[in-house]
């Protein structure tokens, strides 16, 4: 007997008839994807999701009546479903709406496909297949990213094995890796850190090509830290987040100088978190802190293991707070992680590192 699989039921939301026709043709041609509804604006998209209960929604951003960011918020509040943003508009206003949509619960962003580039069609189909199975939750409201009140100081769970107070040397650099669900999670980690944060942060975030600059700009509005795209030959600076640019691995040498490379991709990923963590292990050893956040796959796990073996501290995002638990789970399975924390707990831990570094001590309590 031939094994059959349940088709993925998709609703397309886009105000361009040409684009909806193209998207529908590409998805239907995949064989295992059924387009069950097409909406020309966000309002209609919300209604279709409520009526059809699809497995996934592809969402345009800039549309009449209701833009994609508002539509995502409404869907995630009333009938949560995996949502993939499909956009090629990199103008500042549209990029801002894109990241609002991600913060509201959309899973990821892909470029609109082009008839002249078959890879974009393949990427769309692959993303729909991967994201359709991601469990999602209700998002009941929005969160202020820069609260005027003092930040809450969450207590780590009792099973945390990290003993940061026993570090033999001070933390001098922080490396972060994230993928699906990463932008809003990274924002949650960094949002309460002060502008005078005494350490540099280096970040690898998997994203569709063309969005790295927009991500850096958006992330800079979510934190008091400075956020820049990494430039080859630049040096690490305290209070600055350096983001790996499109299609380049980001590494740091022993002099604290940025090295960008076109080295081999890791399972199709460039940038990959593995080269970053490996370089921090070699350059900083026990003075490096590696953090692996939500994401699909196992990128970063091997590199984090090397950082851990070099005496550095490795933290994974705990399972319940992850959009996708793949990357943290794989790092834990390899024995690369000292303990798991929520994004808020990670942020508080970084505040404690800053406090310890400012006082000149070699350790701190979590």
Catalytic residue annotation: 179, 206, 299
| Cβ proximity of 309 and 281 under 8 Å | yes
Closest CA to 146 of 113, 108, 188: 188
Alpha-carbon distance of 210 to 215, in angstroms, equals 10
Q: Phi and psi at residue 57, in whole multiples of 5°? A: -125, 135
The CA-to-CA distance between both ends of the chain, in Å, stands at: 57
* Cβ–Cβ < 8 Å for 212, 182: no
Structural contact between residues 132 and 55, judged by C-beta atoms closer than 8 angstroms? yes
């Amino acid at each position: 007997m031939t094994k059959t699989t349940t088709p993925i039921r998709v609703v397309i939301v886009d105000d361009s008839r040409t684009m909806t026709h193209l998207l529908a043709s590409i998805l239907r041609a995949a064989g295992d994807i059924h387009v069950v509804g097409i909406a020309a604006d966000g309002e209609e998209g919300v209604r279709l999701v409520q009526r059809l209960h699809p497995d996934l929604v592809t969402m345009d951003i800039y549309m009449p009546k209701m833009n994609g960011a508002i539509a995502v918020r409404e869907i995630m509040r009333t009938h949560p479903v995996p949502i993939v943003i499909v956009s090629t508009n990199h103008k500042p206003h549209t990029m801002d709406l894109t990241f609002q949509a991600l913060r509201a619960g959309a899973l990821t962003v892909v470029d609109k496909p082009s008839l002249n580039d078959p890879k974009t069609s393949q990427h769309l189909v692959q993303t729909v297949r991967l994201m359709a199975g991601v469990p999602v939750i209700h998002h009941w409201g929005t969160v202020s990213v820069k609260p005027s009140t003092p930040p809450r100081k969450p207590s780590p769970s009792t099973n945390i094995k990290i003993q940061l107070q026993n570090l033999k040397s001070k933390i001098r650099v922080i490396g972060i890796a994230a993928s699906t669900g990463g932008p809003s999670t990274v924002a949650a980690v960094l949002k309460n850190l002060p502008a005078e944060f005494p350490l540099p942060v280096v970040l690898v975030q998997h994203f569709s090509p063309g969005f790295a600059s927009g991500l850096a700009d958006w992330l800079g509005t979510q934190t008091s830290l400075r956020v820049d795209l990494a430039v080859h030959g630049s040096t690490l600076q305290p209070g600055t987040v350096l983001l790996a640019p499109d299609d380049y691995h980001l590494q740091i040498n022993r002099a604290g100088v940025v090295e960008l490379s076109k080295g081999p991709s890791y399972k199709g990923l460039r940038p990959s978190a593995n080269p970053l963590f490996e370089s921090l292990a070699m350059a900083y050893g026990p003075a490096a802190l590696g953090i692996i956040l939500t994401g699909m796959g196992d990128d970063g796990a091997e590199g984090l293991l090397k950082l851990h073996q070099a005496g550095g501290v490795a933290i994974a995002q705990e399972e319940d707070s992850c959009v996708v638990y793949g990357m943290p789970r794989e790092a834990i399975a390899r024995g690369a992680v000292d303990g798991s924390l929520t994004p808020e707990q990670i942020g508080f831990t970084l505040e404690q590192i800053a406090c310890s570094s400012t006082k000149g001590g070699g350790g701190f309590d979590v």
